C-alpha cells in the first residue's frame, strides 16, 4: 500500500492509502488512538480496521495525526486533529469523486474525532466506533446522530469502560431512522489484546450486512 503525503492544516500529513481495483468503490477513512499515549496509524486495532475495509473492496486511507510519525505540527487537544481528519477526507474524496459511499472509522481518541467528522459531513454514510472514550470526552455533539453505524466495546476495558459506552449508545439510539448497533467483545481490554480476530470478525460482519445488495422485491401478482 503506498505511502502518501499531502498538505494539512499544520503542514504535511502522512498516510497509508489503498486504492481499490473495483470501479466506483466506496471510501473509508480510519483514525488512530491518542497521539500522546503512543497512538499511530500503525496501531494494531487501527490497522485491522483498515484491512477490514480493504478486504471488502474499499479505497481506504489511514493517517498519522499532526506531530505523529512524519506528519508535521504538534498535538492540539483534538481541535487540530479534527481539522487533520477533515482535510484527509477531502483528499480521499478528491481522488474518488465518483465514490458511491463514504465511511469513517476510529479507535478510542480516533473514534471521538471520527464522530465529530461524522456530524460535520452529511455525505458520510456509516461509521465504526471502537472503544469510544465516552468517560473522557464530551459526545453531546451527537444530537442527533446523522448516520447509522456500529459501536464496539470490550467487556473489561478500563480506559473506556463499557458502562459509559453503553450510555452513549442508548443516547444515539433515540434518533428516528438511524440504527446504532452495539457489540461487546468478551474479555477484551482497551487494546483488544488477544481479541483482534474477534474485533475483525465483528466489524467485517457488520460491513457485510450494510454493503449487501438490497433484495429485489417480487412483483405483486
pLDDT of 1 reads 63
pTM listed for this prediction: 0.95
Pick the closest to residue 149 from 192, 201, 202 (CA basis). Answer: 202
Pick the closest to residue 145 from 110, 166, 112, 171 (CA basis). Answer: 171
* Residue 81 maps to a domain: yes
List the domain range (segments joined by +) for residue 161.
3-208
The pLDDT-based confidence of 220 (bands split at 50, 70, 90) is very low
* Residue 218 maps to a domain: no
* Residue 74 maps to a domain: yes
Pick the closest to residue 69 from 40, 107, 109 (CA basis). Answer: 40
* Residue 51 maps to a domain: yes
pLDDT at 174 over 90: no
pLDDT tens per residue across span 59-68: 999 999 999 9
Number of domains into which the chain is organized: 1
* Residue 220 maps to a domain: no
- CA dist 103 and 16 (Å) reads 16
pLDDT of 216 reads 67
- CA dist 30 and 182 (Å) reads 19
DSSP 1: -
pLDDT at 135 over 90: yes
Kindly report the three-state secondary structure assignment for every residue of 23-87. Answer: CCCCEEEEECCCHHHCCCCCCHHHHHHHHHHHCCCCEEEEECCCCCCCCCCCCCCCHHHHHHHHH
Mean of all residue pLDDT scores within the chain: 95
* Residue 219 maps to a domain: no
Amino acid at each position: 500500500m503506498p505511502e502518501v503525503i499531502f498538505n494539512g492544516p499544520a503542514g504535511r500529513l502522512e498516510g497509508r492509502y489503498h486504492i481499490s481495483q473495483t470501479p466506483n468503490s466506496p471510501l473509508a477513512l480510519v483514525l488512530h488512538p491518542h497521539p500522546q499515549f503512543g497512538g499511530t496509524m500503525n496501531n494494531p486495532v487501527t490497522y485491522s480496521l483498515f484491512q477490514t475495509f480493504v478486504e471488502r473492496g474499499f479505497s481506504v486511507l489511514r493517517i498519522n495525526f499532526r506531530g505523529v510519525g512524519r506528519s508535521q505540527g504538534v498535538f492540539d487537544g483534538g481541535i487540530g486533529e479534527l481539522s487533520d481528519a477533515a482535510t484527509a477526507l477531502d483528499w480521499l474524496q478528491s481522488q474518488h469523486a465518483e465514490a458511491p459511499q463514504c465511511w469513517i472509522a476510529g479507535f478510542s481518541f480516533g473514534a471521538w474525532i471520527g464522530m465529530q467528522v461524522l456530524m460535520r459531513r452529511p455525505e458520510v454514510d456509516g461509521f465504526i466506533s471502537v472503544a469510544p472514550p465516552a468517560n473522557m470526552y464530551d459526545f453531546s455533539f451527537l444530537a442527533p446522530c446523522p448516520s447509522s453505524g456500529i459501536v464496539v466495546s470490550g467487556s473489561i476495558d478500563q480506559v473506556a469502560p463499557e458502562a459509559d459506552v453503553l450510555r452513549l449508545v442508548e443516547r444515539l439510539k433515540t434518533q428516528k431512522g438511524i440504527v446504532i448497533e452495539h457489540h461487546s467483545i468478551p474479555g477484551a481490554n482497551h487494546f483488544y489484546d488477544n481479541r483482534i480476530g474477534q474485533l475483525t470478525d465483528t466489524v467485517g460482519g457488520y460491513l457485510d450486512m450494510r454493503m449487501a445488495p438490497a433484495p429485489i422485491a417480487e412483483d405483486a401478482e
